[in-house]
Every structure is written in structure tokens, then in C-alpha cells.
Structure 1
């Protein structure tokens, strides 16, 4: 891995930059790629080291859930020999290392941005753990997943039970002997539950409202079909949910062992204990909502609905593809079980997989809604000179992923270049 790591002394030799990029993940490095292409001086500030999250917050068996051909970082598309495969953790890191070396971004690592505010002259003051900087423009590229969600009831669980968040999980062997409760069934929760299950651990899974999709359907990866259907080109304003889609939980599926469905019902047949949403701990008993049947049925409905949309596309296009029947449940719960005795269960570990909340508290700017998310159009905020990149559905499905961040970064840098060419600060109004 190689990048232009900037020393604090060198960074402060020029305390002012045309653009400061806050965050050195794939989004921030993509912005740097286009800024360099445009000849715009800039500095990338990274709290840890570049692409830190991919290296430190993924479990050992982690792999991509989208095929390798969707890895399309700017100037650095996937060039391997398995475009329809799914890179494992070490392969992802190798891919990122190549991108880092190619971009050669000016990065000041181990530098936390403490405060950022625009002054009366329109210049941004950026206070960091490595001193003060100023910039004409700021791009926030720190993503939207900052603070792990752990419910307050966790404080009342027995001290002898290990509690970790999904980003801390590595493999079944590092957990204490005994059963494991996984809370949440989104992408991380479902895949971690599978990892534990395959590792021979007794798993209890609190199933949430996450949808699921097929890995392969009618002879192809579902992602390939959806790409042909231009789903990944759909802008957020054309999605049926509009901006509400940003709150959706990702569909659970896996690229493990060449890719397959994740079917929680099949896990149940094999001994995994499924419950509804975890609600509370009372008198030593964990309490669950009576919504397991509803959540499983809803996930399957989404699965079949996506496949039906592919069927319709195949029919419209006259494509010759093998027929497949709709999914039929392989297991149904006898009824809703809403509690069990925690001590008797043998649970020694709990893994919280219920997501993250954003933390943009360090940004002093009137651009946030009541839930702490920035108002923007394709990353351009109502405040002149302030931009965001790498957020879920910033513009399309791929905005927070390897597949779509290049398009978003190019658009944001084009907007920066246009505002600089105008030689006057952009108007404080939401860009069209």
C-alpha cells in the first residue's frame, strides 16, 4: 500500500487548501482522484488510516455480497479473473491497496476533525487533533455509519455475558464457549449468524424487518439481472420511496462459497432458534415481539417480488432463460415464542447487529434534519462550499458502495470546479 502520507509539519506549511476532504475511505479517495485530475489543491484528513474500516471492522470470513465486476472505483475497475465471484476480505484489502497506490492522495492520517465551521468570509475553519486548517470548500466523506446502536437494556444483562457489536466480531473461536444471541437480521446479522451456525455454535437469532433476495435466479446472479434492468441507475428521486429508501435495511444474501441465498427458515430446520424483535429483559427472561412470522413472510415476499420483476423483464425482452418457481417456505414456526429464560439458554455472548447512527456533531452548519442527516441534492448541500459523499442512496443504490461512488465523486468535483471557475462563492440554496 502506498499513498502520499503528509506529515503534520508539511500539512501546516500550507494551512489553507482549496478543498479539504474529511475521511480517507473509498469515498474520500475517489474525491481526491477527481480533484487531482482537475488540478485542484486539497488535503484528505483521516481519523485513523486510509480505508481503515475495511481492515478493522470486518469479520474473518467476510466477503462481498455483490459480484466483483461491480467494483468500479474511479480509474480502478476490477481486473481480476473472477468478475462474477465475490472477493474475500484479504482480496478486498488488496484491491483497495492498489487503488490507494494509484490515487496517491495527499493524506494526513491519524487526524480527527474536531470542529468545522464556515466563517463570515465564506472560508471554512477546520479544527483537528493535528491543529487548525482553513479551506474554501469541504467535502465530508466520513460515511453515515458512526455510532453503533446498542439498546439501554444491555446495561441490565448479566456481567458474565460478553456483549459486542457487529463491527467487533471476528470468528466463532474468539467467543466464549456456549450459545450466542445475534440481535438483528440485516446483512451483518444474517451473515454473522450463518458464520456462527456453520462454526457449530448454538445460535439464537432475533429477527428484524430486513428483506432478503435471491443470489441466483433463472440462470444468473440477481445483480446481473437488476443491472440490465437499470435498477442501479435509478436516482433516489425516482425510487418509489423517494428519500425514505435511505432508511431501508439492506437485503440479506451472501457471496460466501461462490454465493448463495441466506434462508433463515432453513437455519431453523438445522437447529437455529428464531425469535421476533428483542424488546426487553424482565425477571431473567428475554422478551421478544410476536412478529417472527410476519418478518419471515415479509422477507420472502420481497424475495419473490424481486424475482417476479425479473420474470417480467425477461418476458418483455423475449430472453430465453430457464424457468424457476416462486420460493415456498421450507419451515414455519408453530407459533410465536415471546420469551425464554436467559440463564437456562446457555447464552454466553450477545452480538448487537442493529446498525449505526450518524454523528456529524463536529459540523457546525445549518444543513441537518431532525434525525441528524444532511439535506443535499447529489451531495451538494444548501450551504455554499459544503458537500457530502459516500452516504447511502446519496444519488443511487451504489452511492455508498464500490459500484457507484465514482459517479457521485465526479459529480461533486464538477460542482466544486464550476464554483471555483465562477470565482465567487456559490449561492446558499439547494442545488438542482
Structure 2
């Protein structure tokens, strides 16, 4: 009987990399350099998130000099600038052209499962199956837009978009817009709408912030000098090690500047506390606005104080003296607030993303659904992660931290290949020794592999 036409013999590949964003490309460059046969499987197109899931005015919040991938560091004319969306896409395209990675685009991985033998993995895709000795998951930590179900209580007249779908103010119907969330995306989108002249309401969450520049330099440059970005996550307090922490808000727009929500309020933006609920056509906000603003400012001043201590300890001379941020606007008497849903034209949910590893059938997750790993190496032999936030240091998951993180995984891959090769050679030699009637040759042969 003929075999089912839908069945095919899986293709063996020593290493499968899942995801062709910057993390997967970084690993691929290292494997290519080392002569390790591999394939990179990408459900969409290479680095598609930078072109398909960013708003029109999007730019990096980290300086260009921090854009470092294995074998490919930013070498453009503006190391202290901030690349905008098209420039990031172009920069990554240059990386791809520099080594021609073995990427198979539009090849979604539907399942990765360790083999029953304990040696290798079955990798299923819509375009065919693979048997891999090792697998690198390079899909990052932000997969599915998270939209609170409370949004289901909004009337159909209120358009709802997630930050991943937002492109510009022109995308939204005329009228007031509520932005929910003040992480990097929420704060920058609120500014984008504000600069476009829209009436903006902003539900302020608990995200921290930092200064763009302090004492004559970009704050990130100072923090790089202090070694902050290289500190292993294991040196952080336990409560600061989670992958779900909200990033500090700041912007690289127009050359880079602070994002000061209090200044927005002075300019006419309406600030609220966290969105607490929606009932009977009204949105209610918690009474935590002042606390959230003060907490963000405390982080801002705390980071500047760390820089002051670094400057003092190193005897560094700067043109600017130490300073502290002092708020010029306070939500005096704020005890919560309400909005009528009918008064809004749209809501932008800047509420982050959830993880989706349903396709990965390996016992490597903790109770919160995070991959359990040490520097990307999981308890399942041959299975790795790269590109996760807080994977090893504060810089992990960003361009600045990918090079060492990817190098660590590439080294572990090479070690397993070497161990497997050595095992095959040793087994081959042992077989010959067992059949060899001349014992005098044993020592000589064994010494060749000592």
C-alpha cells in the first residue's frame, strides 16, 4: 500500500533555531562561523516585528552604539542617535546580507517535542518536519498582545487597538483617545497622540522612568560605565528578577528626551490612575495617580544618584553639577476619576504581551509559565532559549545584551556536538579493540584520543 501523501520523512538537522529576529540571527551568525549545520525557521519574514508591529514615529530608546550583534556592530554616523523604524530594518537587512543565514521564512513551527530516546527533538512545521539534535528557541518573551477583557464592556462606538496595532493618530477617528498603560509603548504613544493635537487621557500605571541625559551624557552611557548592564540577574533581589517587569519609559524621539507625564498634564493631557473597571458605560480609575507618578520619579532620581556616586568615586569632572527632579505639577486632591465611554473615540491598550509556548512540549516551564533556565540553558539537554528579557543580565533581550547571550548558547551547542562526536569515536575505537587480537596495539590506539 502506498504511503499517505501527507507523510514524509523528517529532515535531520543538527540544530534548529526557532525565530529569525535579532536573537535567532545572532545565534545563526555564530553557528555559521563555527561551521555548525543548522536551519532558522521563521513563521513570518526575517525581523518582521520591526516593520510590522511598530508605530510610524517609533525609534529606539537606547543609543545606536548599543546596537551590537555578533560580527556586526553599529558603524553609522550617529552612534549617540536613535535609529527610527526604517533605519532599524535596514540595519538588520545589512546583517542578514553579511552572512546569508539559512532562514526558511513563512515556516511556522507547530510543535517541538523531545524524542522518547532522550536524544534530539521532533520539530513539526506546516512545511515539513525535522529531527534536530538541538533546538534554540529565539522567539523572545513577547508573543501575544494582552488586552484586558474589561474592554469587552466598551460600546462598539469606541475603537480599540493594542499598541502592537497602533500606527499613528490618523488611524483613529476624531475625538478623545484613552491610552491605558505607561510603559515604554504607552508613554510614547500618548506623546505621539499629544503632539498630533489629539485630546488624550492617560491611565498611569506603575512603570518607572529615567532621565535621557544627566550631567552632560546619556544616562545609558553612564550606566554602561558603572557595569550595571553586565550585572548577572542572580545578583539582583529576587523580586527584581521577573521577566514581566515593566521597562522604564523614556524616548529617543527628535534626538532623545525625557518623558515627563507631569509636563504632559501641564500641556493639557488628562492623567488618571490605573483603569479599575468599566461599568454601565463609565470607566473608573484608581486613586493611585500621585503614588505612581512619585514612584516613577523616585526611580529617576535614584538612577541619577547612582551616577553621582560613580562620578564621585572615579573623580570624574563634569560641567553639570548633581541635581534632582522636582515636580512642577501635582494631582492635588485626586481621589480617582471617571470617564463616560461615549465620550471616547478610541482606546489604545498599551498593556503588554503574554507568552505563548503551547507549541513547545518540554518540561521546562515554571508555575508562571516562564522558561526555567540558567543563562538560556534549560533542564532538557539540547534545548535552549535566547533573547529573553533578564536572561542573564539587565541588557539581555536588548541589542546590547544579545552578543554575549548568544555566544554562551553557541558554546553550549558546540560542547554537545564535541561530546557526541567524541562518544562516537570512542565507541568506534572500542569496537575495534574488542576484535583486535593484538593487545600491544591497545595502548597505542588509545593514546591517539587521550
Q: Say yes or no: TM over 0.5.
A: yes
* Residue equivalent to 1:58: 54
* Residue equivalent to 1:117: 113
Going from structure 1 to structure 2, the CA distance change for 1:330 and 1:39 (only over 3 Å counts) comes to same
Going from structure 1 to structure 2, the CA distance change for 1:178 and 1:258 (only over 3 Å counts) comes to same
Root-mean-square deviation over aligned CA pairs? 1.6
- 1:180 pairs with 2:165: no
Q: Distance in 2 between matches of 1:206 and 1:401?
A: 27
- 1:269 pairs with 2:266: yes
The secondary structure found in structure 2 opposite 1:351 is: strand
1:200-279 paired onto structure 2 within 5 Å: 200-241=197-238, 244-279=241-276
**Any runs of at least 4 consecutive aligned residues in structure 1 with deviations exceeding 6 A, and if so which?**
none
Q: Distance in 1 between matches of 2:244 and 2:167?
A: 27
- 1:282 pairs with 2:282: no
- 1:33 pairs with 2:36: no
Q: Distance in 1 between matches of 2:403 and 2:241?
A: 23
The secondary structure found in structure 1 opposite 2:241 is: helix
Q: Conserved in 2, the CA contact under 8 Å of 1:398 and 1:404?
A: yes
Q: Distance in 2 between matches of 1:100 and 1:13?
A: 30
Q: Conserved in 2, the CA contact under 8 Å of 1:390 and 1:399?
A: yes
Q: Distance in 2 between matches of 1:196 and 1:333?
A: 22
The secondary structure found in structure 2 opposite 1:200 is: coil
* Structure 1: runs of 5 or more not aligned: 1-11, 427-432
* Structure 2: runs of 5 or more not aligned: 1-7, 424-450
* Residue equivalent to 1:390: 387
Q: Conserved in 1, the CA contact under 8 Å of 2:288 and 2:336?
A: no
Q: CA deviation at 1:336?
A: 2.3
1:319-358 paired onto structure 2 within 5 Å: 319-321=316-318, 322-343=320-341, 346-358=343-355
Q: Distance in 2 between matches of 1:313 and 1:15?
A: 54
Q: CA deviation at 1:13?
A: 9.3
The secondary structure found in structure 1 opposite 2:364 is: coil
The secondary structure found in structure 1 opposite 2:164 is: helix
- 1:367 pairs with 2:364: yes
Report the TM-score when normalising by structure 1. Answer: 0.93
Report the TM-score when normalising by structure 2. Answer: 0.90
* Residue equivalent to 1:308: 305
The secondary structure found in structure 1 opposite 2:60 is: coil
Q: Highest CA radius of gyration, 1 or 2?
A: 2
* Residue equivalent to 1:72: 68
Q: CA deviation at 1:282?
A: 1.4
Going from structure 1 to structure 2, the CA distance change for 1:296 and 1:57 (only over 3 Å counts) comes to same
Q: CA deviation at 1:141?
A: 0.4
Q: CA deviation at 1:380?
A: 0.2
* Residue equivalent to 1:93: 89
Q: Distance in 2 between matches of 1:241 and 1:256?
A: 33
